Amino acid sequence: QAQVNKANTDLLKAQKSLKKEAVKVNKNTLKATVTKANKVKAKGYTKASFNSFAKVRTASTKVLNNAKATQAQVNKANTDLVKAQKSLKKVAVKVNKNTLKSTVTKANKVKVKGYTKASFNSFAKVRTASTKVLNNAKATQAQVNKANKDLNQGMTALKKV
């Protein structure tokens, strides 16, 4: 019995002296995601969507800087941050097409008669392109401005017969 007791005592001592091996947590993906997210600024996004994103970004940064974070926590923080960034909503920008509309209306009154065929054909292509921009609900202000400029140049470039 003494041998069994000694073996049991030795086993308990050995068990207590066991140390958990530190688990290496890979934070590389989270670090890259946080770095990318830190470049995102509020301008251009709705206040509500940016505030939600900012909260998730802060929480993810805390996980990144937490030396005791588990791999599951790191993975969740990364997933949440990617999702939050994809959920950002852009502020709707009102595009002013009034000037282009006026220019297209003026251009639509120009008839082929009295102009060289080559200059009129060139003008007609620009007029068609400008009309497409005018009718495009997703056209940006830069596209509208360019279409207006091009159409004005096209009208100026018309050559009389």
Residue 128 has a pLDDT of: 97
Amino acid at the residue 113 = K
**Is residue 78's pLDDT more than 80?**
yes
Rounded mean pLDDT, 106-121: 94
Rounded mean pLDDT, 147-161: 96
pTM: 0.54
* Mean pLDDT score of the chain: 93
Amino acid at the residue 7 = A
**Is residue 103's pLDDT more than 90?**
yes
The tens digit of pLDDT for each residue in 12-51 reads 887 777 766 667 899 999 999 999 999 999 999 999 999 9
Q: Distance between CA atoms of 129 and 118, rounded to whole angstroms? A: 17
Share of the chain above pLDDT 90, in %: 80
Beta bridge partners of 115: 160
DSSP 43-78: TTB-HHHHHHHHHHHHHHHHHHH-TT--HHHHHHHH
In sign, the C-alpha dihedral spanning 19, 24, 30, 34 is positive
